[in-house]
Structure 1
């Protein structure tokens, strides 16, 4: 918690917060830069604000970023462009939203379930709050529960489900999946995935003093041991979980859910 604010997402080095006194107003703060916070227009979030994701860093494109919010117990998805006064609501098709990301001018979301099928949908970014957005289903399967989407360092779109990583080969015109390639190694990528906030990739080369290749760090609401937070580390190449060091401090296990926050570095 920070000044009675609750964390509800992280993306491109920014943290999305809501105030306990006014939970319909989302504020974006950047803890790594001396910049003013961004206060977004009022959003009726219902019972919860579950995830907030940015399309790009507002510092690099202050007039051309989009914010996506999963809210109302994951039953609603809303978007807003920089400078707009009203949110655009994605048509509710009876699904709940698990994850969302921006990729090559489109929005991709993991949804589910319809019957036994979980879905990945896509749609174009809205230019007006009056637009009617109907997601296009481009992939569905029963094993997508808990799946998340992450952009690799090479610019590809990956899907992570049950710690298996798949590279999605997409049609550039409509965003549909042409094929899914299971990866046996992540190359230079180290993945950080979470039940909250944006999943992200970091470089094992630039962080070689603390990160090893082929690892997935997963922060989750596990509850298996009665705690709110659990951290699991999985080696993709070896196909096994490994112990993480240092271990989690028991005193923080009942705090608010943990977010991964990756500062936006500039490498020389």
Structure 2
């Protein structure tokens, strides 16, 4: 430590900032938000190493909005709500024709082109390739439209599961060469990992199937049949989400005026899943009148819950969502108060923000857990080195 400080002071007029001791750098990172850390990491290799390889850096931040200007653009557009400013971030891969963001989950982007599918942690520049083929068909022709991921303790993906365009259920381990397809009659609309199990809800929202992945097989563990405890239907047009929030599994219904494509969002309903405690008691959906100290972020078919204390400037017990502005066919940022049932809309007038996704700014780190073998770790390491 003392020698490092001596090296740093050796040229007092023009100090070598790359010689700052590692412990001081790590202390500085704890004072910065993750986007600021990403900017600082570009100063030199040592600063980049301090952010890329140090796990458990405390840096909560408000999710950003991310969108593609065009598929072949070398940059992403990211909008900071807290700073009310749009930034450009270079894509750490060669953009090809028809390469688009198709999802965002727990800080990872899901990106698909005609020749590849991969997940990307934009801030760590970590990429993990996913299969393009399914085990029971030549190509994965029915594209997954909703994704969820199970994570290890270091927040690296273990299993990726998805709902296809036609309501099918697929999944794979991150080292698999093919997607596995679940054969069943149900058409699903959303899914989430919760308590080491996979929960998938059908399009109508009245049935939740529960699975456990054992010995590389998706094993059904039962179903929940429940009637939504609402006194009168708000709208027959809705999207439905499953999301873990503060240790509970929630069902979120987003109601539209006309349809999810053409209509504005008019209301939200939130229900807590209460699993039966024995073989006799029924499953229940209990309507929630408050999110308490949580905040929900909704974009497209994705929903994520974060503690309000990690989202300075945002209000607890609120839902922040991307919606459709019916008058001028543009996107809008909506803010819904769960307790009051009121809604506030903010038009996104910038043309570069075309139906963006929420992106939680989180780092990914190489780990040595039992789920990530040397092949996966090598892929992460090589990618970070070459970018």
Q: TM-score range by the shorter chain?
A: 0.7 to 0.9
Please point out which of 157, 180, 188 is paired with 2:293. 188
Match of 2:338 in 1: 236
Please point out which of 38, 41, 44 is paired with 2:131. 41
Structure possessing the higher relative contact order (Cα contacts under 8 Å, 6 or more residues apart): 2
Match of 1:139 in 2: 225
Structure 1 vs Structure 2 CA RMSD: 3.0
Question: Distance between the aligned counterparts of 1:241 and 1:195, measured in 2?
Answer: 18
Q: CA deviation at 1:192?
A: 0.7
Aligned residues: 244
Question: Distance between the aligned counterparts of 1:223 and 1:212, measured in 2?
Answer: 23
Higher helix fraction (1 or 2): 2
Check conservation: 1:188, 1:213, Cα contact below 8 A: yes
| TM-score (norm. length: structure 1) | 0.78
Instruction: Extract unaligned runs of 5+ from structure 2.
Output: 1-67, 72-94, 134-138, 255-267, 365-387
Q: Deviations over 1:32-64 (max 9, x none)?
A: 1143x11112233325431222112695456xx
Question: Distance between the aligned counterparts of 1:204 and 1:132, measured in 2?
Answer: 35
Q: CA deviation at 1:231?
A: 3.1
Check 1:12–1:179 CA distance in 2 against 1; reply closer, same or farther (3 A cut). Answer: same
Please point out which of 239, 242, 248 is paired with 2:348. 248
| TM-score (norm. length: structure 2) | 0.56
Question: Distance between the aligned counterparts of 2:357 and 2:173, measured in 1?
Answer: 24
Q: Deviations over 1:191-244 (max 9, x none)?
A: 0123234x1112222323x20121111224x47346364432210111111234
Q: Which has the larger radius of gyration?
A: 2
Determine whether 1:123 maps to 2:211.
Answer: yes
* DSSP 3-state at the match of 2:343: strand
Check 1:33–1:61 CA distance in 2 against 1; reply closer, same or farther (3 A cut). Answer: closer
Pairs within 5 Å for 1:104-119: 104-113=195-204, 118-119=206-207
Question: Distance between the aligned counterparts of 2:159 and 2:277, measured in 1?
Answer: 21
Higher strand fraction (1 or 2): 1
Question: Distance between the aligned counterparts of 1:177 and 1:92, measured in 2?
Answer: 23
